[in-house]
Chains A and B, each alone.
Chain A
Amino acid sequence: MTDVLVKLKDIRRTFRMGEISVHVLRGISLEIERGAYIALTGSSGSGKTTLMNLLGCLDRPTSGEYWLDGLEVSRMSSDARAMIRNKKIGFVFQNFNLLPRTTALEQVMMPLAYTATGLSERNAKKRAVELLKMVGLGERMDHRPSQLSGGQQQRVAIARALINQPPILFADEPTGNLDSRTTAEILEMFDRLNRTEGITIILVTHDPTVAGHARRNIRLRDGMVESDTIREGPPPTLPSHGEPAPDPERQVA
């Protein structure tokens, strides 16, 4: 059964810089089924972040169609896209992007302020506490970013991304600022979310070990899909970073 969550049809993105126009994405077509675990790789400047911004409904393609969960979002108004971001999408950033001088609990609850059908304050708090416990920060709910390590900060950010139970989670180099040990912790969390909660995860990375955790690897080059491979067999055992198992890979299309 293939339940398609994301469908891109010939997506192009061109930036105009005065006289010249920069073609960053040059015709990308993709289908991502619900529950997928995808690593987006490619050399620097290949357009990964640009694509993620489009997928995350922060940006609109110059041309092409983007279907998310059965809705064509590329023609939506900015308010409608804000609602999609709030309800259907979770973001995890390389630099965590936590609010300064704000407790972990408040950080996690923050997106709920923009949810139309809001939960009661008590239920919202209950859910935030559950999420913080799930990411292993049950003891750190009143801590501010300055009182948390990088890994802990990223876990707060993950909890925040999940507060509205989105079907899909975007992470642009989520482990780029973390050491290998913390990277392993964060990846373990992604694996678990994907496996047990069925959340679709798309992460951008330069690190082959990180990419190795995903079941599908999409490689960009000059704004086009260079390769799209599905890894078969079990995920690498953790913590096994450093020396990725040479799993047999199969070309898709």
Chain B
Amino acid sequence: MTIRKTLSTAIRALRRNVTRSALTVLGIVIGIAAVIAMMEIGKGSSGSIAKTIASMGANNLLIFPGTAATGGVSFGGGSSLTLTAEDCDAILRECSSIASAAPLVRARPQLIYQDKNWVPTFVYGSTPAYLTVRDWSQLADGDIFTDADVRNASRVCVVGQTLVRELFGGVNPVGKEIRVKNVAFTVVGVLSPKGANAFGMDQDDILLAPWTTIKYRVSGNSGSTTSTSNSSTSTSSANSADSTFPGAAAVFPAQSSTQAADAPMPVRFANVDQVIMSATSGDQIKSAIREVTSLLRERHRLQKGEPDDFSIRDMTESANALASTTNMMTNLLLAVALISLVVGGVGIMNIMLVSVTERTREIGLRMAVGARSRDILRQFLTEATLLCLIGGLLGLALGRGSALMVQKFLRWPIESSVEAIIASIVVSAVVGIVFGFYPAWKASRLDPIEALRYE
């Protein structure tokens, strides 16, 4: 019996009882639809999480001053003043797996523009390299401040989109002056929109200025009122540094000479809150951590066995945890969908068994006119598989349809996947073969004489 004859015989048999065929296939339709919808919605949400991670900087690393030790007395991150801007320069110079690095000084002051005020989520002091690290170099308007501005502690800044909206009422702020704790800053640029990070914080609610300016002109003015995140600035060394810096020209020579002096414990008045870096690529993160750790241990003159006086955090870690939660949910729902497929398969088997019993006379007749038992087996197997394939295709359409509905009405992200489509077709065929086999085998084992006599 040729494949074409087998197929046309199967189609004819299925058409003989359309309603039953449709009902039989319903389980598979629903199962496949559920699988497809789960896959598309799951992939969509993990895709959007991946995008969020990328926007946070997937290759980014953070260095915090202070020990990461859990045993003994811990003063918490930032409690020691070990991290300096020179460390940052040295890292960039000597660590081959670091693409770029920027020091970071944080504050949380109030901003005033005309009659409005606003406390942004992020007020960062850094260098122009910060935007390179964050992959954020494309500005919406104006320009980033320069390295010279950093050296001079110039009162310039760039602002994020949320600030433009909240403080400037949507008017282009470039060239405008805002007051940051009684210091007048000139806005020189507007950042491009970045969106929320993985923790839901608005990354566009930001003011970015030279770190020297933030450290010595903003935070230094009233260290006690700055936020806790800025504890380092409230120390005497910072304050003394502040008084010695009417202009910024002296900052760097003083630092480099300190470095050159190689004193046992130099006064680190150029300490920063964090150093943010980006590795050359995602898989370089591990070696970057190794390189930076050994460099900083050397620069900080830590003896063997002494704990690190800094800690390095990998940005992807927490984001990955989030992604794996989503993945787990998707897999769980997928498992449920697969179970419904198995239930659908049992339904197919059930109906096929009924069909074999009902068509006993037909089977007997086919055997009488020359069908071998393998022909009968193949015919019923083909019917079951065809039924499941049709169900799979219908389920595919239904699943895609409902995923699109979810996207349209619930605004969830979805992502179609070719693998899921191929897999669902293969799975439905396999369900047909597996669950169709027993009824088909039973049919093929019938005795033609008995079957012909069956009432």
Which of B9, B17, B361, B374 is close to A113, meaning CB atoms less than 8 Å apart? B9
Of A86-94, A187-195, A200-208, A216-224, the one with at least 4 CB within 8 A of chain B = A86-94
B375 at the interface (CB under 8 A from A): yes
A30 at the interface (CB under 8 A from B): no
Query: For B12, B365, B366, B373, which residue has the most chain A Cβ atoms within 10 angstroms?
Result: B365
Q: Note all chain A residues with C-beta closer than 8 A to B361.
A: 97
Query: Is B16 within 8 A of A86, CB to CB?
Result: no
Q: Note all chain A residues with C-beta closer than 8 A to B368.
A: 56, 58, 85, 91, 97
Query: Is B365 within 8 A of A87, CB to CB?
Result: no
Q: Note all chain A residues with C-beta closer than 8 A to B354.
A: none
Which of A82, A87, A93 is close to B452, meaning CB atoms less than 8 Å apart? A93
B372 at the interface (CB under 8 A from A): yes
Query: Is B12 within 8 A of A113, CB to CB?
Result: no
Complex Cα spacing A56 to B364, Å: 13
Q: Note all chain B residues with C-beta closer than 8 A to A86.
A: 369-370
Interface string of A63-79 (1 = CB under 8 A from B): 00000000000000011
A160 at the interface (CB under 8 A from B): yes
Min distance, Cβ B340 to any Cβ of chain A, angstroms: 32
Q: Note all chain A residues with C-beta closer than 8 A to B367.
A: 58, 82, 85
Complex Cα spacing A56 to B361, Å: 17
Q: For the complex, count residues of B whose C-beta is within 8 A of A.
A: 25
B5 at the interface (CB under 8 A from A): yes
Interface string of A142-168 (1 = CB under 8 A from B): 000000000000000000100010000
B135 at the interface (CB under 8 A from A): no
Which of B372, B448, B449, B452 is close to A114, meaning CB atoms less than 8 Å apart? B372
A228 at the interface (CB under 8 A from B): no
User: Which A residues between 79 and 119 are near B, CB-CB below 8 angstroms?
Assistant: 79, 82-83, 85-87, 91, 93, 97, 99-102, 106, 110-111, 113-115, 118
A53 at the interface (CB under 8 A from B): yes
Q: Note all chain A residues with C-beta closer than 8 A to B448.
A: 58
Q: Note all chain B residues with C-beta closer than 8 A to A102.
A: 12, 16
Q: Note all chain A residues with C-beta closer than 8 A to B6.
A: 113
Query: Is B5 within 8 A of A118, CB to CB?
Result: yes
User: Which B residues between 248 and 282 are near A, CB-CB below 8 angstroms?
Assistant: none
Which of A82, A83, A113 is close to B5, meaning CB atoms less than 8 Å apart? A113
Q: Given A53-B449, A85-B368, A99-B365, verify A118-B373 contact (CB < 8 Å).
A: no
B371 at the interface (CB under 8 A from A): yes
Which of B2, B9, B369 is close to A118, meaning CB atoms less than 8 Å apart? B2
A130 at the interface (CB under 8 A from B): no
A59 at the interface (CB under 8 A from B): yes
Query: Is B372 within 8 A of A82, CB to CB?
Result: yes
Complex Cα spacing A87 to B370, Å: 8
Complex Cα spacing A22 to B163, Å: 101
Query: Is B12 within 8 A of A106, CB to CB?
Result: yes
Q: Note all chain B residues with C-beta closer than 8 A to A82.
A: 367, 370-372
Q: Note all chain B residues with C-beta closer than 8 A to A58.
A: 367-368, 448-449, 452
Min distance, Cβ B353 to any Cβ of chain A, angstroms: 19
Q: Note all chain B residues with C-beta closer than 8 A to A101.
A: 16-17
Number of A-B contacts (CB under 8 A): 66
B418 at the interface (CB under 8 A from A): no
Q: Name the residue on A nearest B4 (C-beta).
A: A121
Q: Note all chain B residues with C-beta closer than 8 A to A115.
A: 370
Q: Note all chain B residues with C-beta closer than 8 A to A53.
A: 449
B362 at the interface (CB under 8 A from A): yes
Interface string of B152-177 (1 = CB under 8 A from A): 00000000000000000000000000
Complex Cα spacing A102 to B361, Å: 14
Complex Cα spacing A164 to B374, Å: 21
User: Which A residues between 17 and 44 are near B, CB-CB below 8 angstroms?
Assistant: none
Complex Cα spacing A86 to B370, Å: 4
Interface string of B361-404 (1 = CB under 8 A from A): 11011111111111100000000000000000000000000000
Which of A56, A114, A164 is close to B366, meaning CB atoms less than 8 Å apart? A114
Min distance, Cβ A252 to any Cβ of chain B, angstroms: 30
Query: Is B449 within 8 A of A160, CB to CB?
Result: no
Complex Cα spacing A99 to B140, Å: 76
Q: Given A58-B448, A99-B362, verify A160-B369 contact (CB < 8 Å).
A: yes
Min distance, Cβ B116 to any Cβ of chain A, angstroms: 80
Query: Is B16 within 8 A of A100, CB to CB?
Result: yes
Q: Given A59-B449, A97-B361, A99-B365, verify A114-B16 contact (CB < 8 Å).
A: no
Q: Note all chain A residues with C-beta closer than 8 A to B449.
A: 53, 58-59
Query: Is A113 within 8 A of B1, CB to CB?
Result: yes
Interface string of A133-145 (1 = CB under 8 A from B): 0000000000000
Min distance, Cβ B224 to any Cβ of chain A, angstroms: 92
Q: Given A59-B449, A114-B1, verify A83-B370 contact (CB < 8 Å).
A: yes
Min distance, Cβ A51 to any Cβ of chain B, angstroms: 12
User: Which B residues between 10 and 60 are near A, CB-CB below 8 angstroms?
Assistant: 12, 16-17
User: Which B residues between 317 and 373 are near A, CB-CB below 8 angstroms?
Assistant: 361-362, 364-373
Q: Note all chain B residues with C-beta closer than 8 A to A97.
A: 361, 364-365, 368, 452
Query: For B2, B9, B448, which residue has the most chain A Cβ atoms within 10 angstroms?
Result: B448
- 22 A-B contacts, Cβ less than 8 Å apart? A56-B368, A58-B367, A58-B449, A58-B452, A59-B449, A78-B372, A78-B373, A82-B367, A82-B371, A82-B372, A83-B370, A93-B452, A97-B365, A97-B452, A100-B16, A100-B362, A111-B369, A111-B370, A113-B1, A113-B6, A113-B371, A160-B369
Q: Which 3 A-B pairs have the closest CB atoms?
A: A86-B370, A111-B369, A114-B370
A86-B369, A114-B370, A114-B375 given; name 5 further pairs at CB < 8 Å.
A58-B449, A78-B373, A91-B369, A97-B452, A99-B362
B interface residues (Cβ-Cβ under 8 A, vs A)? 1-2, 5-6, 9, 12, 16-17, 361-362, 364-375, 448-449, 452
